[in-house]
């Protein structure tokens, strides 16, 4: 059973930025890399072949959603996530930790990276309105499908991810919000997220021994601690002292301090293991994360905004529904090599949206995934040739002009 491992290739002098390779049973991931999200074993509106043609190297699915439908046992019977969804490359699974917040204290609230002008009532749901309830042993969820109740513990989360068969699994954790107090953040990290991480690791070690014939499945410990340097450094050292295969940097992070917070963690975490940042896809966030040592990151945003009419350009995000595109017979982005830009015009894609044709979602998603994956490929090349800062400054100045 060959372990998932990480190999450093190049380092950017004076920073934590690096390029490397994550070796998995289903192929290598050249890093830094954007991991495309296929929450329910499907990247919305795209076939696996279209995902692959975007340049994507790996796909991340969600253990909580796949547990509810179709069930991890069915996916295991099919031969694992890759075979089930006809994806040839490496796979990740989220633990259900995000749903602890999105269905719990953040239910029907805006999950923001900003704290200016935000009050606790804006982001913290009353307990009686929630669909997830946390205690020190685990989380009780109410299914959004049929209202049935389900219990997740760290062991259950890992059993689900093991059944799904992902190459990289995340330890079960409690995601907090920026509005939670320091006292709550510290308690959550020390009493729940860290013990749950250790229990997740031990459960995967037990399952590996029980099924030595199966490909190795990595466990990444997830770091919480919000904006607090002492908590982030404390949990980084705690994670570094244990046998995790890699790390997920997650939780409540204020956008303006993203790079600083990531650096606190990565100054302590072992250099020879990969670091994944959960849930980012804005270009400025990606540059900041990579500069401070993040190797991979994921987000649903490229396909989600695409389904709402937004497309990426080098001058920022535009919306195809604008009147200026009604008779615009040029591609979404001149020079883009994606299938959409090579074959279709803005005028046609706008027509698809106005006519509510499903092809609109596919064409926009192809372009957006290609754009973000391609940006990270360029970012990786800039580290290798030493032009990272010039590339970053020019690219971001143009995008956010």
What burial letters (b/e) apply to 126-150, b meaning 16+ CB within 10 Å?
eeeebbbbbeeebbebbeeeeeeee
| pLDDT lower than 50: segments of the chain | none
Q: How far apart are CA 87 and CA 47, in angstroms?
A: 9
Q: Is 298 a catalytic residue?
A: yes
Q: Judging by DSSP bridges, how do beta strands 33-37 and 296-299 pair with one another?
A: parallel
Q: What is the DSSP string of 144-208?
A: TTT--EEEE-HHHHHHHHHHHT-SEEE-------TTS-HHHHHHIIIIIIHHHHHHHHHHHHHHH
**pLDDT value for 3:** 93
pLDDT at residue 389, rounded to an integer:
97
Annotation marks residue 328 as catalytic: no
The domain made up of 5-95+155-299 is a member of CATH 3.80.30.20: no
Place of tokens 């450094």: 233
pLDDT in tens, 125-143: 677 778 889 999 999 999 9
- Do 134 and 174 meet the contact criterion of CB atoms below 8 Å apart? yes
Residues spanned by CATH 3.20.20.105 within the chain?
A: 5-95+155-299
The strand pairing partners of 139, in sequence order, are 134, 152
The catalytic position among 94, 173, 180, 295 is: 94
Task: Name the nearest CA neighbour of 343 among 1, 50, 16.
Answer: 50
Question: Residue 50 has which token pair?
Answer: 């279209």
Question: Quick check: 43 and 37 in contact, CB under 8 A?
Answer: yes
31 CB neighbour count, 10 Å cutoff: 25
Catalytic site residue from 135, 173, 298, 385: 298
Q: Phi first, then psi: what are they for 178, rounded to 5°?
A: -65, -20
CA atoms of 311 and 346, how far apart (whole Å): 10
* Whole-angstrom distance, CA of residue 346 vs CA of residue 124: 40
Query: How far apart are the C-alpha atoms of 223 and 237, rounded to whole Å?
Result: 10
């Amino acid at each position: 059973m060959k372990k998932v491992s990480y190999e450093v290739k190049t380092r950017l002098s004076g920073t934590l930025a690096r390029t490397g390779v994550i070796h998995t049973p289903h192929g290598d991931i050249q890093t830094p890399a954007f991991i495309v999200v296929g929450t329910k074993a499907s990247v919305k509106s795209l076939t696996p072949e279209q995902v692959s043609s975007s340049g994507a190297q790996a796909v991340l699915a969600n253990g909580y959603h796949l547990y509810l439908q179709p069930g991890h046992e069915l996916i295991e019977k099919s031969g694992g996530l890759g075979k089930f969804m006809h994806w040839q490359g490496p796979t990740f699974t989220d633990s259900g930790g995000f749903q602890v917040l999105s269905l719990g204290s953040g239910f029907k609230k805006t999950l923001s990276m900003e704290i200016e002008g935000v009050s606790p009532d804006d982001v913290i749901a009353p307990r009686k309105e929630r669909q997830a309830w946390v205690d020190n042993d685990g989380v009780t969820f109410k299914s959004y499908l049929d209202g049935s109740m389900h219990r997740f513990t760290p062991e259950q989360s890992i059993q689900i991810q093991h059944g799904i068969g992902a190459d990289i699994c995340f330890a079960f954790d409690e995601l907090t919000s920026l509005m939670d107090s320091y006292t709550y953040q510290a308690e959550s990290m020390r009493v729940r997220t860290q013990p749950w991480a250790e229990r997740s690791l031990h459960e995967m070690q037990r399952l590996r021994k029980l099924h030595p014939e199966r490909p190795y499945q990595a466990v990444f410990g997830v770091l919480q601690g919000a904006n607090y340097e002492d908590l982030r450094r404390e949990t980084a050292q705690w994670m570094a002292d244990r046998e995790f295969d890699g790390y997920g940097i997650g939780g409540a992070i204020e956008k303006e301090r993203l790079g600083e917070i990531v650096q606190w963690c990565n100054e302590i975490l072992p250099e020879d293991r990969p670091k994944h940042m959960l849930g980012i896809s804005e270009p400025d966030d990606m540059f900041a994360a990579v500069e401070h040592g993040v190797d991979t990151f994921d987000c649903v945003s490229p396909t989600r905004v695409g389904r709402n009419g937004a497309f990426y350009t080098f001058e920022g995000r535009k919306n195809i529904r604008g009147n200026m595109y009604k008779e615009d017979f040029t591609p979404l982005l001149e020079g883009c090599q994606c299938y959409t830009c090579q074959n279709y015009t803005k005028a046609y894609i706008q027509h698809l949206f106005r006519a509510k044709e499903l092809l609109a979602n596919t064409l926009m998603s192809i372009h957006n995934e290609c754009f973000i994956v391609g940006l990270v490929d360029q970012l990786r090349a800039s580290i290798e040739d030493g032009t990272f800062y010039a590339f970053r400054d020019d690219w971001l100045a143009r995008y956010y002009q």
